[in-house]
Amino acid sequence: MSTPDNDVLLRVDNLVKYFPVKSSGYFQKKEFVHAVDGVSLSVRRGETFGIVGETGSGKSTLGRSIARLYDITAGSITFDGQEISQYSQRRMRPLRRQIQMVFQDPMGSLNPRRRVGSIIGDPFAIHGLATGAERKRRVQELMERVGLNPEHFNRFPAEFSGGQRQRIGVARALAFQPKLIICDEPVSALDVSIQAQVINLLADLQAEFGLTYIFIAHDLSVVRHVSNNVAVMYLGQLTEIAPADDLFTVARHPYTGALLSAVPLPDPDLSERREQIILVGDVPSPIAPPSGCRFHPRCPKAAPVCVSTIPVLEPKLGDKPAHVAACHLPMAQGENLADFHPTIAAAQRVIEGGGLLSGDEAEVSTVAAEALATSDTPQPEGRRQ
Amino acid sequence: MSSSPEVRGRHAVKPTATAGAGAGTAIMEPSPAAKKIEGRSPWRLALERLRKDRAAKIATGTIVVIVLCALLAPLIASWVGHGPNQLFVDTGLDEEGNPLAPSSTFFFGTDSNGRDLFIRVLYGARISLVVGVLATLISVALGTFFGLVAGYIGGVVDSLIARLIDVVLSIPFLVIAISIAYISHPGFWLVVFVVGVLAFTYPARIVRGQVMSLKEKEYVEAARALGAGPLRIMFIDLLPNVIAQVIVYGSLLIPLAIVSEASLSFLGVGIPPPTADWGSMINDASGYYQAGFWWYLLFPALALLITTLAFNILGDSVRDAMDPRGAGIYE
Ligand SMILES: Nc1ncnc2c1ncn2[C@@H]1O[C@H](COP(=O)(O)OP(=O)(O)O)[C@@H](O)[C@H]1O
Ligand code: SF4
Ligand SMILES: [Mg+2]
């Protein structure tokens, strides 16, 4: 990855995005999905900023809000010095050339009724950048650059394999040579063997064009290799942000700890010795998130303060300013989450809005198999903690 | 397949402390050429299925014959030597001035004015087909436009269009006919327009429903991320995905339009006389067929029945051939 300088390309402050819930009755009070609830982050030029979190934690909503595919509920987005959070779609148009997206579903993000050449030619057509033979030439150039056969421009998306479809998506995003590409789980839908190819392609393109990435994944093992900085997301909020190396050596937030324990280790001996922390219970409803720390109903370290007080995202235990965590009882280095049990009574672990977790459910069990994150992710070689 | 990148030995993912080779780069992507998807074009698939459908073949054959009759009507007329509006006062009526039964001179007999019914039925096919096709084109164009706009824009625009559809659907056909009667010069284009506009509601509803679900697709999101405006998304991204449905329902609208036109003409507010038209011919026959002049009613009615039946059967077959559950052309 290219060396990041201190120049900030994107700054997000207190971003909030709520979706209205279709209410069933006339007299019900209006409810909202708190998909993104006060997220702040900054992304430097040329870096890869990873965002991880379980499905439903709001990663896609965050990415799409930054790309202004949504009108945001509150907060500010400063891109390349411009405050774009309130821009109309019309005003956003020229900026679309600077911020692009690669989507999770390589089939769903390509129009099944249009030929690949015209799909990749869309950026040129929409912004009137090239027509006719010139457009075709540039489309074929892009196809070649992302490792597709340029002769296949006349085919439909269904005639390509999953990995090739994602390359089509990358080519389309690359057409403008944007400053920022938001990759929303670009490899999650791909076979493990193909994931690395697409990740390598993204890395090559970053080096060649000086791109900045926001790289979203639900799986730490994917982001750890590509990211300079990683943010961990839970129920619409960031729980920890850290330089990638720091996060994998000294995770402060118990949620990060739980995610990390699910990442398979290359060394089977080490894997056996380490216990995996399985989070029990479902992710609480984002319509009525838990009070205090949103992770408290599932956290092994949960204490009364966690229920009553919202933790602030700040450096913990003498960490450098770039490493922040939102937790009242951060983990010390070498601490084993499996040794902890919540010090709050089961009855206190009330999820706002209704559901109670029984003591049994709330207990964190230590199981060796079945991980929170999928365990069939590519095995990073020679990487150990 | 040359599109697979060559395997790179270097470590393109972030180097790790004790790393050896790149993570999983050595595995080639399976070439899709191996599992070549045969003729992905849904049209070809549908066409193949249509070819195996006997009812569709018979209907198509019938429609071809009807179209040929319409096209060749002037030629046949000059060959027989009878014009469509020619009055055979001496040879075409009996002593009491009544229509003549079918004979070797008048294949389908004559009407009360002594005109050749056979030639008039042939000419009637022209009106039916042209009105049927033109009106359907109007319905489909209007319906697709309103359906796309309502489905994609949503909100107030959608509500307004939904109300408009409700209003049009609630107007009884007779009211339309009576309204036309008040217009001093009902004629060909008015009929085409009225029949076409009245039927726009069907394709509009279908397109609206399709678009409502299609607009949630990621490729629409992708188009918006590229800066595409609503018009481009509606007509470049969504239209190709609804066109198959539109054609299926369009083919079912043709017989509806033919019957609507015949009904207006039957009520005397359609194609004005003396133009040969099945609807007005049936109306003319109404005072005669009970008195034993069966051919007067039979031939125009049969022509109308066969034509609409053939179009209906073909339309059904087209729908079956493109059925979503049949072969999954709608993902
Ligand atoms: N368009 C939408 N309307 C209503 N709720 C939504 C919408 N998009 C996402 N959500 C909800 O917001 C939450 C976060 O979703 P998402 O951002 O897709 O999470 P992730 O990408 O991390 O899986 C989920 O509870 C999801 O159901
Ligand atoms: S604040 Fe409390 S509940 Fe939240 S992560 Fe830290 S210890 Fe767990
Ligand atoms: Mg997502």
Where is A51: in which H helix or E strand? strand A48-52
| Residue A63 burial (10 A CB sphere; 0-12, 13-18, 19+) | buried
Residue A84 contacts B where some CB pair is shorter than 8 Å:
no
CB contact under 8 A, A201 and B5: yes
Contact B24 A196 (CB under 8 A): yes
pLDDT(B7) > 60: no
pLDDT tens-place string over residues A338-356: 788 887 766 455 444 333 3
Q: What is the distance of C-alpha A210 from the center of its chain?
A: 21
Structure confidence by residue, pLDDT tens digits, A107-154: 899 999 899 999 999 999 999 888 889 999 999 999 999 999 999 999
* Binding site membership of A63 for ligand 1 (Cβ less than 6 Å): no
Rounded to a whole number of angstroms, the distance from the CA of B2 to the nearest CA of chain A is 6
The response to whether residue A254 sits with its C-beta less than 6 Å from ligand 2 reads yes
Q: A320 CA distance to ligand 2 centroid (A)?
A: 20
| Mode of pairing for the β-strands spanning A180-184 and A212-217 | parallel
Three-state DSSP state, A75: strand
pLDDT score of B22: 37
Of the pLDDT bands very low, low, confident and very high (cuts 50, 70, 90), residue B138 is very high
Q: pLDDT tens digit string along A69-82?
A: 999 999 999 999 99
CA of A84 to the centre of ligand 3 (A): 23
**In a 10 Å sphere around its CB, with 0-12 CB exposed, 13-18 middle and 19+ buried, how is residue A193 labelled?**
middle
- Give me B129's structure tokens: 């087909």
pLDDT value, residue B9: 37
CA A302 – ligand 2 centroid, Å: 5
Among B residues 205-224, those touching chain A with beta carbons less than 8 Å apart: 217-219, 221-224
- Measuring CA to CA, which residue among A317, A204, A350, A122 is closest to residue B220? A122
The residues near B189 (Cβ < 8 Å, ≥ 6 apart) are none
- Between residues 218 and 257 of chain A, which touch chain B (CB distance below 8 Å)? 224-227, 244
pTM (predicted TM-score) = 0.79
Q: Identify the sign of the CA torsion A357, A360, A365, A369.
A: negative
Pairing of strands A212-217, A324-326: unpaired
Ligand 1 pocket test: pick from A60, A66, A73 the residue with the most ligand atoms within 8 Å of its Cβ.
A60
Rounded CA gap, A50 and A217, in Å?
7
Q: How far is CA A235 from CA A44, A53, A295, in A?
A: 25, 9, 8
Contact B60, B68 (CB under 8 A): no
Name which of B10, B127, B42 is nearest B330 in CA terms.
B42
Verify whether ligand 1 is closer than 6 Å to residue A56 (CB atom).
Answer: yes
Q: Which of A90, A109, A185 to mutate to test the interface with B (most CBs of B within 10 A)?
A: A109
Region of A15 (left: φ > 0; alpha: ψ -120 to 50; beta: rest) is beta
Per the prediction, chain B carries an average pLDDT of: 81
Q: Is the pLDDT of residue B323 over 80?
A: no
Q: Are A166 and A196 in contact (CB under 8 A)?
A: no
Q: What is the pLDDT of residues B158-176, one digit of tens each?
A: 999 999 999 988 988 778 8
Closest Cα in chain B to A68 = B225
Residue nearest to atom 26 of ligand 1 (CA): A56
Q: Is A327 in the pocket of ligand 2 (CB under 6 A)?
A: yes
Residue of higher predicted confidence among A203 and B43: A203
Domain spans in chain A, listed from the N-terminal domain onward: 5-98+176-373
CA distance B16 to A380: 9
Contact A240/A256 with Cβ under 8 angstroms?
A: yes
Question: Where residue B185 falls among pLDDT bands split at 50, 70, 90?
Answer: confident
Contact B23 A379 (CB under 8 A): yes
Q: Which ligand is nearest to the CA of A108?
A: 3
Q: Which of A154, A189, A161, A198 is nearest to B33 (CA)?
A: A161
Q: pLDDT digits over A281-339, tens only?
A: 677 889 989 999 999 988 888 899 999 999 999 999 888 999 999 999 999 988 888 78
Residue B237 forms contact with A (CB below 8 Å): yes
- A4 preceded by a cis bond (ω within 30 of 0): no
In this structure, the residue with its CA closest to atom 1 of ligand 2 is: A327
A185: alpha, beta or left? (left if phi > 0; alpha if psi -120 to 50): left
Q: Does B227 touch chain A (CB under 8 A)?
A: yes
Alpha-carbon distances of A345 from A280, A305, B64, B109, rounded to whole Å: 16, 13, 81, 98
Look at B2 and A111 and tell me if their CB atoms are within 8 Å: no
A244 alpha carbon – ligand 3 mean position (Å):
21
User: What residue ranges do the domains of chain B occupy?
Assistant: 48-323
Say whether A200 and B25 touch across the interface (CB within 8 A).
yes
Pocket probe for ligand 1: among A19, A182, A374, the residue whose CB has the most ligand atoms within 8 Å is A19
Please list all protein residues whose beta carbon sits less than 5 angstroms from ligand 3, which is an ion: A 60
Res A385 pLDDT > 70: no
Q: Which atom of ligand 2 is nearest to the CA of A294?
A: 4
- With contact defined as beta carbons under 8 Å apart, do B147 and B205 qualify? yes
A25 in the Ramachandran plot: left (φ > 0), alpha (ψ -120 to 50) or beta? beta
Yes or no: say if A20 and A51 are a contact pair by the CB < 8 Å rule.
Answer: no
A184 alpha carbon – ligand 3 mean position (Å)? 7
Q: What is the CATH class of A5-98+176-373?
A: alpha beta
CATH superfamily of this structure's domain B48-323: MetI-like (1.10.3720.10)
User: Which ipTM score applies to this complex?
Assistant: 0.80
Query: What is the phi/psi pair of residue A141, to 5°?
Result: -60, -45
In angstroms, the CA A265 to CA A381 distance is 9
User: Residue A324 and residue A252: Cα distance in Å, rounded?
Assistant: 8
Distances (CA, A) of B2 to A151, A152, B5, B8, B121: 10, 11, 8, 15, 63
- Residue A342 CB–ligand 2 contact under 6 Å: no
Q: Answer whether A247 contacts ligand 2 (Cβ < 6 A).
A: no
Nearest residue in chain B measured CA to CA from A150: B3
Sheet with strand A82-83: strands edge to edge: A32-44, A8-20, A74-79, A82-83
Give the closest residue to B113 by CA, choosing from B133, B132, B97, B135. B97
Relative to the alpha carbon of A285, which ligand is closest? Answer: 1
pLDDT for position A189:
87
- Tell how far the Cα of A47 is from the centroid of ligand 1, in angstroms: 26
Beta-carbon contacts of residue B81 (< 8 Å; ≥ 6 apart): none
Share of chain B above pLDDT 70, in %: 84
**Least CB-CB distance to A1: which of B14, B29, B224?**
B14
Residues A243-263 have pLDDT tens digits of 999 998 899 999 999 888 877
What lies within 8 Å, CB to CB, of A175 at 6+ separation is: A120, A122, A123, A124, A138, A142
Give me chain A's average pLDDT, please: 83
**CB–CB contact A103 B40 (8 Å):** no
- b or e along A227-253 (b: 16 or more beta carbons within 10 Å of the residue's beta carbon)? bbbbbbbbbbbbbbbbebebbbebbbb
Q: Does the pLDDT at position B27 exceed 50? A: no
Nearest to A200 among B13, B17, B227 (CB): B13
